A and B are shown apart, each in its own frame.
Chain A
Amino acid sequence: MKDLLKYSFLGIIALTTFASCVEEIDSTQFDELELTPTLEGSLLYVEASEQVINLVTGNTVFSNDFNFDAFNSDIFAERVIEGTVTYVVENTTSKELEITVEFLDDSDAVLDTEIFTIQPAPTSILQREIVYGPAGRSIDIITNLSSIRVSAINLGDNTSNSSAPEPMITLKSSGKFTVRVK
């Protein structure tokens, strides 16, 4: 019994030493936690060979609307904060070209326009980054985007041929958007 009392006493001392120190936490910090990943991927790639350009009568090589509903879905449109669209236009043909990219809403109204006038090869790569959001153009342009109109106008002739292998005009584009998950 004496041992029991001794060990019980030691146990109580130990437990009271260990126990009950609680430094407060502030769980409301959770409200300040931000989940805002930036997602990046390609958007649109358009390619037309010089052969196609030369076959067209007149200077409008093509002008087409392409459905693009990636950004107007609720899951994206309600969460996107800002973003950047990067264009790279490369011309390896023998003629000057003008590429126009227009963002259209679902009633085909033009929301935004970007025009690239590009010289013939060899000085023929244009890169442009368009910022949307607080530091740039309205993010509503992106959230209302329903289709993209791409037009190409031949500002040169339609008989010459570039000496480059497989001469063509290409429009490359990618998007990088920050969305608020929380």
Chain B
Amino acid sequence: MRVARLFFLAILMGCFYAHGQNKQLLYDFTDIPQSLMINPAADVDFKWYGGIPALSGLSFQAGSSGVSAYDLLADDGLDINDKVRDRLLNNMKISDELSGTYQIEFLNIGWRGKDSNYFYSLGAYNEGDAIGYWFKDIAILAFDGNADTFGRFDLSHLKTRGSIVNVYHFGVNKRVSDKLLIGGRAKIYSGILDFNSTRNKGFLQNTEGQNNLISTTLDADLEMRTSGLNVIRAADSQDIGSVITKRALFGGDLGLGLDLGFTSYLNEQTVFTASLLDLGFIYHASDPKNWTLNGRATSEGVEIILPGALADPDADFYQQLIDDIEALAPFEENLKSYLTFRPTKLNASLRYNFGKPIQEGGADCECGPYASQSRRAPRYANAVGGQLYAINRPRGPQTALTAFYLRRFGNIAAIKATYTVDKFSATNIGLGLNLQAGPVNLYFMADNLLGYQNVYNSRYASFQLGLNIISWGKK
């Protein structure tokens, strides 16, 4: 029961939606090294940086497009069964999502090459993400059953996927000219755990029977694929750490990926950027275990038609019916390897810089001892702009639009404020703070701040923080 309660709470409180992986505050915030992780062509000017292991990049995002925990568990005197019926069953749509993500960097370092037009970065991080769409018809079946209706229960509503992977990456950022930077990042994925069930089809339906009162039809093409689950479940509490570590260090499922990006200065103050992240796949061959239910069976119960039915006095019509259904729609298990594609993300921004230049670029650069290169465009105290985010999801791409304002305070601090709108929310205001104290860089970001008026009623919350050491100085 406790597990069931935790699961229920996890669904309510851990339900995140499309912009669960949107890092609109960090994107193009080039004062922060981790902006390179969202655009490998971010226009950074570090000579080198090193992230503090396990603290350089932490992010967690959570939200709900359908209901919040408060909607269901508020101490309001209403019967929870009525609330579940009104707010879940009758209100949520199959496009509503329950999903989430986290990321922890273990290693992230970067350095400028001998040719100062090149900046290299490498590292490793652990990432987990999961998404589940609201399985409306299956939930109705679980709450109400199939009695007194000839309606069709759509089994394709079951659509979910999730994974935990370690990602090892190496990126190159090249300044092609004063106006253009391009970047790429190669990734090796070491899959620890994966589950997915995204291509389901079929239905369950009662209709008027031909002979008997009701005819029940199951038409199913369902599949749940997993990898890593069994070896982790089989491990005892002493071994589980080593099992996970082994899978994280290339002992699990392996895959390859690529990030691409560019930064283009349309003029001295106007910048256009874009990136495409996680163009990649993982081949799940280390510990696959899959379940399928595939076929079509119709039943009108046990049928006995005389006199033929009595020809065999030992006939077991009930068992025969069960056997027939199992043969027509077998529930099977297999160990086939499978391929999954990473959820690819697209980011783009248009930024206008204005106000007082913080440092001079180009030929007039007053470069200090730590200056990385002198072709960088001047940095301005202010910037405004818009960003686009899209992610490839099991039900198709989903997008978010962000307007932002960035304010720099010399070389020691910067604040970025965002307003993000997508199909789920029109009130997402975020704030990011970057501090530079000597070589120490610290950033903290949170969005949907209005949601903190009542945390339990918030349908989305996220934070990111990080601690780096940066070679930094007056340019």
Contact = CB atoms under 8 A, between A and B. Distances in A.
Interface of A: 1, 3-4, 7, 11, 14-15, 18-27, 29-35, 37-49, 52, 55, 62, 64, 66-70, 86, 88, 150, 170, 172-174, 176, 178, 181-182
A86 B213 CA distance: 9
B148 interface: yes
Give the bracket for the number of chain B residues in contact with chain A.
Answer: 35 or more
B456 A25 contact: yes
A70 B283 CA distance: 42
Contacts of B301: 41-45, 173-174
A34 B145 CA distance: 13
Contacts of A42: 209, 212-216, 299-301
Nearest to A69: B318
Contacts, number: 170
Given A7-B415, A35-B143, A46-B306, A88 B213 contact: yes
B409 A7 contact: yes
Interface of B is mostly: mixed
Contacts of A21: 452-455
Contact of B302 (A19, A31, A37, A43): A43
B409 A27 contact: no
B426 interface: no
B146 interface: yes
B152 to A, nearest CB: 14
Given A11-B433, A42-B215, A23 B145 contact: no
A25 B302 contact: no
Interface centre among B212, B303, B431 (most CB of A within 10 A): B212
Contacts of A150: 304
B229 interface: no
B434 to A, nearest CB: 12
A182 B5 CA distance: 11
Contacts of B409: 1, 3-4, 7
A41 B301 CA distance: 7
Nearest to B301: A42
Given A25-B73, A41-B216, A86-B213, A178 B145 contact: yes
B318 to A, nearest CB: 5
A153 to B, nearest CB: 14
